[in-house]
Structure 1
Amino acid sequence: MLKLDKINVYYGAIHALKDLSIEVKEGEIVTLIGANGAGKTSMLKTISGIVKPKEGAIKYIDKDITGSSASDIVKMGIAHVPEGRRIFANMSVMENLEMGAFIRKDKSEIRGDYEKIFEKFPRLKERRTQMAGTLSGGEQQMLAMGRALMLRPKLILLDEPSMGLAPIMVDEIFSTIQDINKSGTTVLLVEQNANMALSVANRAYVIQTGKIALEGKGCDLLKDENVKKTYLGG
């Protein structure tokens, strides 16, 4: 479904991604783990067109999307939930969800999708008229994910969805990620909570200083001694 082939990204003199290659197959949850500054967020921004690679190719459903604009990539069905949630704080919950559907023309189906989001996230329904900036961190993450799902994406990119959340909320977010995947959306997950991320992933990659250092099934990497020592606190 998605293939990155020898991607190189630079920020001035800083070589952020170095010949990075990954693949995400339709229907999978693929996780990328690594330390702060390893290049995880740069990779997601490159896929979604926010950052342009200097070299390499990105293919999505057999189409070369290297260098495509962020707006065109959204229209192709790739939704990006950025690190730090980035909800519209001065707009209501409902208005945020409406923004998620801004490129859709099927108005009658959009109404039905609002209800599906409220079924998935009942707390958002209770707070539909509330200003998004007044929600808790967990509720804001739910809203960011709900807003992305209003696009009806084929592929959703999630950047650190559990960051700063209480343990009970982390469990809820990861359960929702699995539900999103079961309902037909492919997931590429960047996450510092390596234990949780690997436990839900079909496959996973470990990134170190802009390069893929290791790849394999999520369950296999959970048992890998180097991964345990470096990322799982074991």
Structure 2
Amino acid sequence: MLEIKDLNVRYGGIHAVRGIDMSVPQGNIVTLIGANGAGKSSTLRAICNLVKKTGTISFMGEDISKLPTREIVKRGISMVPEGRRVFADLTIYENLVLGAYTRKDEAGIKSDIEWVYSLFPRLKEREKQLAGTLSGGEQQMLAVGRALMSRPKLLMMDEPSLGLAPILVRDVFKIIQKIHEEGVTILLIEQNARMALKVADYAYVLETGAIALSGSGQELLKNQEVTRAYLGGV
């Protein structure tokens, strides 16, 4: 579904992503794990053409490397950004409608809002509440719901559990699995490496902008190097 070849991202003198090759097969959950500054977020931003880059990015067989971000969204890629970034002065409902800004099918949009509410009943209860007044967990639900409103084939999630209480982290991962069961392919960046590897079909470990390891989620869970570096093992 998504193929990345020789991707490089530089910020001035900093080489943030160093010639990585990776793929996201349709129907899979693929996760990127690594320390802060490893290049994970830069990889997602490069896919959406939000940063300057070199290399080739193909989606569903089409080279999207130079497409504007709006066109990439239209092709079926959506991102839940790190830090949620909801529109604080708009209501939950208005945030969701904005998530469908590339669409014209009013009946489909209405149906998808109800689908999002079925995933996140708390949003339905508060649909007229301003997003800025929501708790961190509720804002994360809204950020995911807003991304789903573009009807993505590939949903990219950047640190969805960051800053959330442990019980909410479990809820977030249940939702990730539920969205996946609905047929959405997922590319996940997550500091909680253990949880990410448990749900992942395949995983890549990034270190200083390069891929250090890759394998199935279960393989990397058992890898002593990964355990020592990311899972709190010895």
- Partners in 2 of 1:90 and 1:190 — Cα distance? 27
Runs of 4+ in structure 1 off by over 6 angstroms are none
Amino acid at match of 1:71: R
Question: Counterparts in 2 of 1:22-61, with a 5 A limit?
Answer: 22-53=22-53, 55-61=54-60
Q: Secondary structure at the match of 1:152?
A: coil
Structure 2 residue 147 is matched with structure 1 residue 148: yes
- Partners in 1 of 2:62 and 2:110 — Cα distance? 31
Q: CA RMSD in A?
A: 0.6
- Partners in 2 of 1:112 and 1:67 — Cα distance? 32
Shift of 1:100: 0.5
Q: Secondary structure at the match of 2:57?
A: strand
| Structure-1 residue corresponding to 2:91 | 92
- Partners in 1 of 2:52 and 2:80 — Cα distance? 18
| Structure-1 residue corresponding to 2:102 | 103
| Structure-2 residue corresponding to 1:212 | 211
Shift of 1:56: 1.2
Amino acid at match of 1:154: K
TM-score (norm 2): 0.99
Q: Deviations over 1:139-181 (max 9, x none)?
A: 0000000000011100000000000000010000000001111
- Partners in 2 of 1:233 and 1:70 — Cα distance? 37
- Partners in 1 of 2:189 and 2:108 — Cα distance? 30
**Is the CA contact (8 Å cut-off) linking 1:29 and 1:189 kept in structure 2?**
yes
| Structure-2 residue corresponding to 1:183 | 182
Structure 2 residue 102 is matched with structure 1 residue 136: no
Shift of 1:103: 1.1
- Partners in 2 of 1:177 and 1:110 — Cα distance? 21
- Partners in 2 of 1:109 and 1:38 — Cα distance? 39
- Partners in 2 of 1:172 and 1:22 — Cα distance? 28
Amino acid at match of 2:221: L
Shift of 1:52: 2.4
- Partners in 2 of 1:167 and 1:228 — Cα distance? 20
- Partners in 1 of 2:146 and 2:25 — Cα distance? 24
Q: Deviations over 1:176-230 (max 9, x none)?
A: 0011111010000000000000000000000000000000000110010000000
Number of paired residues?
233
- Partners in 1 of 2:224 and 2:141 — Cα distance? 33
Q: Deviations over 1:96-134 (max 9, x none)?
A: 000001111111111111111111100000110000011
Q: Secondary structure at the match of 1:204?
A: strand
| Structure-1 residue corresponding to 2:61 | 62
Runs (5+) with no aligned partner, structure 2: none
Q: Secondary structure at the match of 2:10?
A: strand
Q: Deviations over 1:22-45 (max 9, x none)?
A: 100000000000000000000000
- Partners in 2 of 1:118 and 1:86 — Cα distance? 19
Runs (5+) with no aligned partner, structure 1: none
Shift of 1:68: 1.4
Q: Secondary structure at the match of 1:115?
A: helix
Structure 2 residue 15 is matched with structure 1 residue 15: yes
**Is the CA contact (8 Å cut-off) linking 1:52 and 1:67 kept in structure 2?**
no
**Is the CA contact (8 Å cut-off) linking 1:181 and 1:187 kept in structure 2?**
yes
**Is the CA contact (8 Å cut-off) linking 1:4 and 1:21 kept in structure 2?**
yes
